[in-house]
Amino acid sequence: MKFDKPLIEGILLKRYKRFLADIRLKNGHYITAHCPNSGSMKTCKEPGWKTLVSESDNPSRKLKYTWEMVHNGKCWIGVNTQIPNKITMEAINNDEIPELSGYDEMHSEVKYGQNSRVDILLTGGKDICYVEVKNVTLVEADGFYKFPDAITERGQKHLYELLEMVKKGNRAVMLFVIQRSDGTTFKPADHIDPDYARALKEVHRKGVEVLTYQAGVSPDEIKIIKRISFSLD
């Protein structure tokens, strides 16, 4: 996925009220950007880090800029939680996720479960496949990528809705897209949300597939690049 216009460089001053970030642009201007990430953003929001924002031409938007990524001195980290769905669909179209190939049609935001919408629905293959996509930005001192970075009852609900699809004879996949490159293996963050970690292990044991893919994040492009290992122990 390439951005429509070149991203604009700045320095992060602070992230606050979940959806706001104050940034000093390279040209010296100070802005408040929309932060499209409802998590804690632990390990990816340090003041003084280099950031990149996109600029919208939509006159009806309250905030002109969107915070897209931050650099921690080691790598770019994609903080926009809307990106993983887009790059996953792009990768499926390009047959870059072998586990999700072999389907004729792909739909997004399809109603299922209890008043929910599945991120991606694949049809026209040997089965129907429900795919939930989660954005991973947390890396801790042990080198593991982890999810979630805050307690998520909604995320736990999605896991059990995927399990219900398996019980009905369909295929269900929990896909974690990692938007950074300075870690090793993926693990659930059981010290942050033990209930989510237990639920993930349970549904995986009962047939929900878990896929963990790393995205290459750069100012020019964000795209799925490779599968990485995971541990649910």
> Using one digit for the tens of pLDDT, what is the confidence trace for 90-110?
999 999 999 999 999 999 999
Give a yes or no: residue 70 inside a domain.
yes
Predicted pLDDT at 115: 80
Counting the structural domains of the chain, the total is 2
Which residues of the chain have a pLDDT value below 50?
Answer: none
> 69 and 126: one domain?
no
Question: What is the value of pTM for the model shown?
Answer: 0.94
Q: How many Å apart are CA 48 and CA 36, to the nearest integer? A: 19
The bridge status of strand 145-147 relative to strand 186-188 is parallel
Residues 150 and 90 in one domain: yes
Direct distance between the N- and C-terminal alpha carbons of the chain, in angstroms, rounded to an integer? 33
Residue 59, domain extent: 8-77
Which of 48, 77, 106 terminates a domain? The answer is 77
What are the tens digits of pLDDT across the range 123-147?
A: 998 899 999 999 999 999 889 999 9
CATH of the domain at 26: 2.40.50.580
Q: Report the alpha-carbon distance of residue 74 to residue 66 in Å, rounded.
A: 22
